[in-house]
Structure 1
Amino acid sequence: MPTIRYPAMLLAAACITAFGAAHGQQTDAWRHAQVEAAEHSERIMAEAQKRRTLLASYRVMMDAATSAAPDERAFNVIFSQYLSWYQTYVGDYPNAQLSYSIAQPMQPGDAASPLADGYHPVAAIDAVARLARDRRVVLLNEAHNVPLTRSLTVPLLAKLRAEGFNYFAVETLYGDDHALSERGYATADSGFYTREPIYAEMVRTALALGFTVVAYESDQPGTADARERMQARNLYERVFRRDPKARLVVNAGYAHIQEQGAYLGGRSMAQYLQQLDDIDALTVEQTMMIPHPQAAQDHPWYSAVMATAHPDQPFVFTDTQGRPWSLRTGYDVSVFFPPPRMRRERPGWLTLGGLRRPYFISGDTLCGARWPCLVEALPAAEGDDAVAADRVLFDPPPNPPPLHDRVRPLRGATASELYLRPGDYRLRVVGGDGRISESQNVRVPPG
């Protein structure tokens, strides 16, 4: 496995702040405990990265989670976020959100419900493309451990490319992967989140569509505000200074894209970018109106909307003039993601708006009943270093099951489905010992 070079402490900083604010516990003692927990979590993650395979790294993270005492509250809160990243890397999306979930309670200043103000739902992919038509920049955010919030961005890229957008900037992409464009796909060395298949699919899709993919992450130590300022500076220098007519799509986390209000003791990346080049970006909020593991964590407006509508794709609300509804100031439009429809213990949003289709796999056949077992699908035209198009982790419980056990991927099932675009793939099977026990070519036919 490659070594993580990006300081994960900065990635955790926003969530440390968000958790404390949500629970009214931003005392010095609590914040100190969280910082210590984040440092401990980084040491565990560094140890995990010494392992040869992704599966071996994941097992280090899972072992640390299961061995933590229940009263280690700060560690359990912080490390659950680190663990959730690895759960997304191995394709265990339901448990990643169970491990770490940020509630969305009503906040002062939230807009009135779209159900009460003459708005109507519109497919997000069409509405966002229309709203972006006259903009130079589109800012899309995501929740890093909930790849559902990437599932609109992937198919939306084609719509934005057709509207003339030609640059795609990706958060935590490493700037020294100089072969990325020529290669056409991300590797585990390309960035921090590119190890996750949907994130890698964003990069793969953008390159295939002809976008220039840009790394804009700050690599300088400093405060969270310094990171925001440097991200904006990198976007300006690497895109608009070189190409004043550029049209840019930016992928970022959480409130990096907010255009108003204080953020982490300073300003957001979006505010600094606007200051640098007087850019009025379209800001698309994708992290608030999402389903949570517990309904009590959902925003009240989300619950009300889902009780009256039964959509099968991401959507937004617009009024009769086409103006979009946004939950909070600082964002132009809020995207609603419907609750996932599960199939063989995997969420249906993995179709990515119909770009991909399910492909059945049997863990008993591929893994030979040796657990845990990671099955990966690599596009046939890409190298063995490519991030898989999709992954499924099989890890059924022993018989009898242990008394104390965390949730298991696929709820212990030994058959499931990969979600793949039509085409040719290599299935690679990695066992718990790190050995590749099986490799076979498969074809996914058109739908």
Structure 2
Amino acid sequence: MFETLSGRLDGALGRLRRKSRLTQRDVDEALAEIRVALLEADVAVRVVDTILARVEEAAVGAMASASLTPGQQVVKAVHDELLRVLGGEPFRLRYASTPPTVILLAGLQGVGKTTAAAKLALAQLREGRSPLLVAADLQRPGAIEQLRILGERAGVAVVSDGDDPVTVARHGVAEARRLGRDVVIVDTAGRLAIDEALMREVQMVSEAIDPHYRFLVVDAMVGQESVRVAQAFDERLSISAVILTKLDGDARGGAALSVREVVGKPIAFASVGEKLEDFEPFYPDRMASRILGMGDVLSLIERAESTMDHEVAQRGVDRLRQGRFDLNDLLEQMRQVRRLGPLKGVLAMLPGVPKELRNQDIDDAELTRIEAMISSMTREERSNPTMIDASRRARIARGSGTQPAQVAALLKQFRDVHKVLRQAGVGAPSATKRRKPPRRKRK
């Protein structure tokens, strides 16, 4: 997400960074490019005007400044304005003093609301909470079964007892109290478009259970339409915050940059992938940095800490240092890295990565092919790749659905890496210095 916006802003601000002094023409050209970038990202016009007005004010100040880096001042102004528009401080979920904390999810059909409910439940479970899911969407065929399947994968129980949404929601909250659950997440029905029946139903459910939080689930790929949806739901429900879904998709970013400014509600969480684990708190400062190509190391570290096995990672480092790193270790470490998500998303979180590399269409399927080839080898072959001859390469290729030439290329790359590491002294036995014999004293 934000790739087009990020690229456009990088081009406009990159030229300013290189300027030792700014002219009015420089500022006008940069503001025009920033306007086009924001409008192409489907940001609401009123939000674009607000951002540009404040950035222009900062740029005029930078022109009069004696600083040698006025371009950096404008970049900082853009960063600060993006941070303000995205909400400034991150949303904090506060739990009820008397459990359970009741959370109601609302939104249109097809935005990923049911999946978001399961993801939120898993996130709460991992924080040491004891959540319960309530399937109150009785309109869509299969919605209850979908939530049951997702709940089973997340390890969270799902209840849906009653003939109407209000009864189901009330029973779910009562069941949570009986079972001693401290968080209840109620999934409500959606429609393909806003209508009075939808609004009346979700309003009745909300009034019946009086939730502590009313989260509106919004598809990040919708753009400005999400602002109209948020305004309509807020008028009837007084929503607490927004959950953005499909933030990993080819979204232009208008929803994230418009909802907070127009509706005045913070973005609480973001769905950043298809897996249940791909769900995280929304940090405005980190998102602003990512939009401007500054990376997001903190989120990458947190993702690594929550998904990677530290013992496995350390074992790989130790074997590399000892010069014993083989294809068994490579397979193990590749599986660790893939837990972080798509490589393109990982690169976007790293600061200093060139725009050309960030914008590359990186094919994660190549990792899948490498994993398939290594998995088709015997453990002995992985430990000693030099024993793999032509017949073995043919067998490995058949087992992995690849070509013998691809297997040969993989083995060559692995040998080349080992050669470079040996030349660099990694894994090579330390050379002991020979002691010089003591000099005899002259008589």
TM-score greater than 0.5 by the shorter chain: no
Which structure is higher in helix share? 2
Q: So what's the TM-score if we normalise by structure 1?
A: 0.31
Q: So what's the TM-score if we normalise by structure 2?
A: 0.31
Quick check: which has more Rg, 1 or 2?
2
Which structure is higher in strand share? 1
